Amino acid sequence: MNILCLSFYNLDYGIGASASSLDELNSLPHGIRAFIIEPNRVDLPRVKVVLSDAIQRYTIPLPLTRYLSFLHPFLSFFYGLKTASNVKMGVVFSMHHPFHSLSFTGHVISRILHVPHVVQLQDVLRPMGVKLTIFDHLSDILERIVAKLIKDDLMVFVCSENRQILESRTKTKFHNVLILPNCVSQHLVQSVQLRKTVREKTIHFIFVGRIGPEYGLSKIQRLLSVLPSFGYEPRLLVVGHNQVGMPDSATYIGSLPRKETMQLIAESDVGIGPMYPTIAVPRKVVEYLALGKVVIIGKNAVSRDIIKEFGESILEVSENDDVNQVANKLLTMLKNANFSSKKMDALYCESKMQIILDKALSRKKTNEEA
């Protein structure tokens, strides 16, 4: 079977949603071929990516900067149909992001081809004390309209809160839903050399991904400053796309290919997630957990779904916490880290993609029989 995938990010961005797409595509069940329509985002860094032979990429040649990205859904429509005219597609996947209508493009193409449409929602808009621009308001109206059009398509949310937020904000009830967290390739996890013990008196922290203002990376500085009084030297490594600047104590090495990034996580002791509220399941947190690392996040920074399953590995902190107590708790968690291999299975893309395809195709069969 062939699937058509519409991506808002070029795969060689290799960060966040792009990294999720890479791992999902490389974890497709045997016999599935994927055809990817991706933009030429000249405003983003690029890294070397490794894809299986079952994946074929089609990059839209028009260079798109951040402010011209609204053209991408329209261009994806024509390139998607052109690709589908040469290859018979069984399912259409589209990436849904706030302010963008790529999921509407996927919906229209799927109706033309008479195949199921899967909408993958990495995140949803959550304005929290931020003044929206006129463009933001217009985009918000567009997303509300799109939500009503795609309400019967298969919607894949990374957490239950995101479903609640989007349904409440768009006043739309989605009828065909899966709640599955962001995932990581099991093969990729198993290809790196894992180290689980703290080396001597040095604790290695790592932050991976896009360094944006919503992640509040600088908030980790209080903890790093107090650790020497406990006899430990903290070292912070940052791997990704810097948009807001680095804390003084950080070593920044930029974007790296997926395997190199995963190896650095494997060699670290503590993964840093978002320190501000995000209410999602950030990709970086899944990577840390899959490699058995203790994860530090801010209050309400990740979905309660993931806290419920992996709470023993996640340390939630806030600005009002006693930093010495936080340091003590972190050291205790590092000494007693214990991870269930059965739980890890839920974080692997091999499981996620099979679930999604089974759900999409079973619904198609039910509709045909009806």
Q: Are residues 247 and 173 in the same domain?
A: no
Q: What was the pLDDT predicted at 11?
A: 94
DSSP 8-state class, residue 131: P
Alpha-carbon torsion (273, 279, 282, 288), positive or negative: positive
Per residue of the chain (370 residues), what is the pLDDT tens digit?
Answer: 999 999 988 999 999 889 999 999 999 999 999 999 999 988 889 999 999 999 999 999 888 876 777 788 899 999 999 999 999 999 999 988 755 689 999 999 999 999 999 999 877 765 555 677 777 777 778 888 999 999 999 999 998 988 998 898 889 999 999 999 899 999 999 999 876 555 678 999 999 998 888 788 889 999 999 999 999 999 999 999 998 888 888 999 999 999 999 999 999 999 999 998 877 888 899 999 999 899 999 988 888 888 888 888 999 999 889 999 999 999 999 887 665 555 777 889 988 999 999 999 987 666 665 5
Q: Are residues 229 and 334 in the same domain?
A: yes
Q: Are residues 85 and 226 in the same domain?
A: no
Rama region for 99: left / alpha / beta (φ>0; ψ in -120 to 50; rest):
left
The Cα–Cα gap between 188 and 26 comes to 9
Q: Are residues 87 and 16 in the same domain?
A: yes
The Cα–Cα gap between 220 and 319 comes to 10
Q: Are residues 195 and 282 in the same domain?
A: yes
CB atoms within 10 A of CB 288: 28
CATH code of 55's domain: 3.40.50.2000
pTM value is: 0.90
Q: Are residues 92 and 131 in the same domain?
A: yes
Owning domain of residue 116: 2-182+349-369
The Cα–Cα gap between 326 and 229 comes to 13
Q: Are residues 222 and 91 in the same domain?
A: no
Cα Rg for the chain, rounded, in angstroms? Answer: 21
Q: Are residues 330 and 353 in the same domain?
A: no
Q: Are residues 70 and 177 in the same domain?
A: yes
DSSP 8-state class, residue 244: S
DSSP 32-100: -EEEEEEEEETTS--------TTEEEEEEEEEE-GGGGGGHHHHHHHHHHHHHHHS--SEEEEEE-TT-
Q: Are residues 49 and 114 in the same domain?
A: yes
**Total domains, the chain:** 2
Q: Are residues 246 and 354 in the same domain?
A: no
Q: Are residues 159 and 127 in the same domain?
A: yes
